[in-house]
A and B are shown apart, each in its own frame.
Chain A
Amino acid sequence: GAGVSQTPSNKVTEKGKYVELRCDPISGHTALYWYRQSLGQGPEFLIYFQGTGAADDSGLPNDRFFAVRPEGSVSTLKIQRTERGDSAVYLCASKLAGGADTQYFGPGTRLTVL
């Protein structure tokens, strides 16, 4: 079946602009995660959704970052007033509810802030 998809695959924006990154999880997966991977680093946790609600947003770096999942499926990560330091690959993952089984990752969105 279809895996996790993310759009766009690449996004180039100017400092100060607003961007939205989209994640389509695997159908039926109620848990959804956003991670950020800077060059040469491992992914870092940003936010976790269980259904429609953000169960844990402790990884969001500041209030310029916000994410929603209004219908418990597609999620959008929103970044306001982008800064050059926001440049990274943003990864989305989904999993079935319950248990600590594996997460399935999308290909990521590479964000470049000029």
Chain B
Amino acid sequence: KQEVTQIPAALSVPEGENLVLNCSFTDSAIYNLQWFRQDPGKGLTSLLLIQSSQREQTSGRLNASLDKSSGRSTLYIAASQPGDSATYLCASTGTASKLTFGTGTRLQVTL
């Protein structure tokens, strides 16, 4: 059974800092790896999707990497802003496109 772990559970950084969120998974037989953002009381918004054959994906200030062999993915956020404050979830996609989520990293970017 796939298990997804995210470290750290919570993170507070001052505005402007670059930061890295970590995600690890136990079963490397995944179709892809996704990073989502969740704001309080809201649903999930997909940020980046990395196919199993890819190594990284970039969107604006976000860059996600994938190393299937080691079971790791990272989300890099450059020049953080207060509007980046949210919970970030990674999820692996298995059979039938079922997502297995980590417990999330709660990010706070302070002024």
Contacts and interface: CB of A to CB of B under 8 A. Distances in A.
B73 interface: no
B49 interface: yes
B104 to A, nearest CB: 6
Contacts, number: 61
Interface stretch (A63-71, A78-86, A98-106): A98-106
A44 interface: yes
Interface of A: 4, 31, 33, 35, 40-45, 48, 50, 55-56, 59, 91, 93, 95, 99-108, 110
Given A48-B97, A106-B43, 18 more contacts: A4-B43, A33-B97, A33-B99, A35-B101, A42-B102, A42-B104, A43-B44, A43-B99, A43-B101, A44-B101, A45-B100, A100-B97, A102-B34, A102-B46, A102-B49, A103-B97, A105-B36, A110-B41
